[in-house]
Chain A
Amino acid sequence: MSNNFVTAIKSRINYQVFLLLTLIVLLFVFDHLTDGVIMKRNVIFRLTENVMEVGLIALSMTLVIATGGIDLSVGYAMALAAIMMGLTYEKTGSMVAAVAVCLLTGMLCGALNGLIIAKAGIPPLVTTLATFSLYTGVSKCIAGSNIFSAFPEGMTILITHRLFGIIPYQFILFLVLASLFAFAFNRTRYGRYLRGMGFNEQTVRFSGVNIGLTKFNIYVLAGLMSAIAAIVYLCRLPAAKPDIGININLETITAVVLGGTSIVGGVASIEGTVLSILILGVLRKGLSLIGLGGDKYNFILGIILVFCLIGFSFLNGQITLTRKKVTE
């Protein structure tokens, strides 16, 4: 009997090595295509600049998907949190208050999701489809056609200045939070519970775990990360408007799936998500440097997602072919 877990670990580590190699290859490819711009010391870290918001949300999205759920409202919760932050700052002039309101908004958005999913038992797909409409609507109602940009000068300081002049602060934030997430997921019991829920929720329930509370918490966490992402975004572009999170869904989910997390749950990897975010960052920046920006990037994302889904479906199919209900 083959030791499947070791194989699984090996294949996971192998896959992460594969991701790392892909990252390195991409770096070299784009370096070549841009005539040596990429690999310069002061450029290489900046590659991750724009993708850190996605990265932050992808961290909590990994947890959500690990349990077999999904959250399509993250981008819009982020926009709403940003708008609330702008509004609060405008009305009170206090950065502290603005940040607090921002975080609170994010958590409330998450709490609404969590409540409906955990308490009412409505599938996460439909719930977050509904809430994303709601959050967009609320954002637009509050903002109207305004753009909240009355932020203090010092806000962008976090972006214009970098550690040692080369490493962006948001990247450090991302790495710090990623480490926390990785720690929580790999080394605490919650990680086990989440993975277990993705595989077999009943068993986890029969092990004395409060499933409802756990689910509620991960959605609140997703909301919180959306709020943090909003702050990072505003530090970069101090203009809060309702459509700043429009693309986030796709990028986050692609990052998570590319990182080796199974879309139906159970198998998950924070490290994989981190590596994928880096890859996506290089991809995005690289493509824009050679003139293929915006839409082309999305297109490629979509293709990557489709291939990953199909590919992992084959891989996972050899181990367990549990066909879950297709509308989650």
Chain B
Amino acid sequence: MTNVLELRNIVKTFPGVKALDNMKLELRKGELLAICGENGAGKSTLMKIVTGVYKPDSGEMLLNGEPVHIKHPNDAYEKGIAIIYQETSLFPELTVLENIFMGHEFIRRKFGLHFIDYEKMRQTALDIFGKLGVEIDLDGKVGGFGVATKQMIEIAKALTYDAKILILDEPTASLTSREVTALFNTIKRIKAEGVSMVYISHRLEEIFLIADRVMVIRDGGYVATAGAKDVNSNQLVSWMIGRELSDLYSKTPTKPGAEALSVENLNQGETLKDISFTLRKGEIVGLSGLAGSGRTELAHALCGLSEIDSGTIRMNDREITVDNYHEAIRQGMVYVSEDRKANGLITQMAIGENMTLSILDKLSGWLGIRFKREREMVDAYTARLKIKAMSSATVLNNLSGGNQQKVSVAKALVAEPRILILDEPTRGVDVGAKSEIHKIIDELVHRDLAILMISSDLPEILAMSDRIYVMKEGRIAGELPKEEASQEKILTLAL
């Protein structure tokens, strides 16, 4: 029995990081294969290779036993491989019908001209949606539908390409339980049509409900595959984690002091529900949870980057209102963004310019920016954080990811915060820079800073945190003191 899809010895590296090492994958016809792994294990890289977004450095891919090379995402579609991402690539102003056939509409010839054959498209669409068990208004604008329906539309779109392999990337992340049930029914129907599926998810309970087999990957490498009926979640969790906690991290013990920040009953729409927690001086509190659980949203809300519906924030026992980020900085609370390219740094500008961007008002006088003072400050922090660059005038584009991240951290430190919120501080950073950043964090906490660290890197959060809060679906699912915390416990709370 040939596998409908097979990957062998796939290697993919990015500058400074080996994303996939000797990865393999075997998908049998008509099965639903779940893929599990922590944030950063390599799932999305793997899928991007399968769907033609990336090219592997080496290794081979076989479709129904025949070797293939997929050059372009559209190529993957043509070969019958489709992926449904969390963020849909639909056109909100166009109708469902137009969206699912975009780029490959049915044509009818009449009087020598080509006309779109709406009837045939409509019939096919009704067929497909019928197969999916979904009723939908084909002429409705996609933008008017909810996430769950958009997903159905994406699935229908894939089926219009006659996809035989369907990849679902965290499909249930934004769905209610009723919608999940509907999705699962649809999945069962698709399976009955002979479509093979890859299902990427963190939600172990769901995997056991729907998958035939489960594959676990970890740190870019293949771990194991087993029948869904033959394993339990403990086994899966231990496969996902299974590595030694190296003593790469250098958090030395501190004695936490007075309460620096206290949050009570914070609410924000559907993203944050009744959040309450405290942060003390001289301690590092880790904030863990799966992608989409609301960690970054919480950080934004605290720092005035987004509005809250209700809740109290107290700093040093005084209630404060943070309407905008400038106010947050003024109060001594600074945020280091998780996505330095999008909103943490300006890569076309120089190191020095980036570093001081948030505090230019403090560095300015009647005659404009005090350049000498700025340079001194930039040099001081560059040295302190060991940022490797030719000079402070170097454009950020030229720095490695690790050094860029250091600039991002420096940008926060120049504001001399009392509370520092770090969002994925070592994401996309090489090992050397990672440990340097950890040393810096350690140093800071010894200076009585209160640090909230959001991280998807479990060993990092376990090594660095004095306490860990775990978030799940917008709520705080649990709190773990350092002595009791373990990867299993965190994941259990998060899943």
Residue A92 is within 8 A (CB to CB) of chain B in the complex: no
Interface residue total, chain B, C-beta cutoff 8 A: 37
A56 to chain B, nearest CB (A): 22
Residue A327 is within 8 A (CB to CB) of chain B in the complex: no
A236 to chain B, nearest CB (A): 33
Q: Given B324, B349, B390, B393, which contacts A208 in the complex, CB threshold below 8 Å?
A: B324
Contact of A187 with B369 in the complex, beta carbons under 8 Å: yes
Contact of A3 with B343 in the complex, beta carbons under 8 Å: no
Residue B1 is within 8 A (CB to CB) of chain A in the complex: no
User: Do most interface residues of chain B lie in helix, strand or loop, or is the interface mixed?
Assistant: mixed
* A5 in contact with B357 given A188-B368, A199-B346, A210-B324 (CB within 8 Å): no
- Residues in A neighbouring B347, C-beta threshold 8 A: 199-200
- Residues in B neighbouring A203, C-beta threshold 8 A: 342-346, 357
Contact of B349 with A206 in the complex, beta carbons under 8 Å: no
Residue B325 is within 8 A (CB to CB) of chain A in the complex: yes
Contact of B357 with A196 in the complex, beta carbons under 8 Å: yes
Residue A192 is within 8 A (CB to CB) of chain B in the complex: yes
Residue A17 is within 8 A (CB to CB) of chain B in the complex: no
Contact of A3 with B357 in the complex, beta carbons under 8 Å: no
Contact of A204 with B369 in the complex, beta carbons under 8 Å: no
* A208 in contact with B326 given A4-B394, A189-B369, A199-B349 (CB within 8 Å): yes
Chain B positions 390 through 413: 1 when the CB is less than 8 Å from some CB of chain A, otherwise 0: 110111011100000000000100
- Residues in B neighbouring A187, C-beta threshold 8 A: 367-369, 371
* Residue from B350, B367, B368, B397 with most neighbouring chain A CB atoms (10 Å): B368
A313 to chain B, nearest CB (A): 16
Q: Contacting chain A: which of B31-39, B193-201, B358-366?
A: B358-366
Contact of A210 with B326 in the complex, beta carbons under 8 Å: yes
Q: Given B349, B394, B397, which contacts A196 in the complex, CB threshold below 8 Å?
A: B349
In the complex, what distance in Å separates the CA atom of A3 from the CA atom of B391? 8
Chain A, 177-224, CB within 8 A of any chain B CB: 183-184, 187-189, 192-193, 195-196, 199-200, 202-210
- Residues in B neighbouring A286, C-beta threshold 8 A: none
In the complex, what distance in Å separates the CA atom of A183 from the CA atom of B328? 30
Interface residue total, chain A, C-beta cutoff 8 A: 31
- Residues in B neighbouring A2, C-beta threshold 8 A: 398
Residue B219 is within 8 A (CB to CB) of chain A in the complex: no
Residue A290 is within 8 A (CB to CB) of chain B in the complex: no
Chain A, 1-42, CB within 8 A of any chain B CB: 1-6, 8-9
- Residues in A neighbouring B350, C-beta threshold 8 A: 5
Residue B237 is within 8 A (CB to CB) of chain A in the complex: no
A206 and chain B: residue at smallest CB distance: B343
Contact of B360 with A192 in the complex, beta carbons under 8 Å: yes
In the complex, what distance in Å separates the CA atom of A266 from the CA atom of B347? 11
In the complex, what distance in Å separates the CA atom of A243 from the CA atom of B218? 70
In the complex, what distance in Å separates the CA atom of A188 from the CA atom of B397? 24
Q: Given A8, A183, A193, A207, which contacts B395 in the complex, CB threshold below 8 Å?
A: A8
Contact of B368 with A3 in the complex, beta carbons under 8 Å: no
Give the 8 A-B CB pairs with smallest separation, nearest first.
A189-B360, A208-B326, A187-B368, A188-B368, A202-B343, A4-B395, A5-B395, A207-B357
13 sample A-B contacts, Cβ–Cβ < 8 Å, listed by A number: A3-B391, A3-B398, A6-B390, A6-B393, A188-B368, A199-B347, A203-B346, A207-B325, A207-B411, A208-B326, A208-B328, A319-B397, A320-B348
Q: Which residues of A contact B (CB under 8 A)?
A: 1-6, 8-9, 183-184, 187-189, 192-193, 195-196, 199-200, 202-210, 266, 319-320
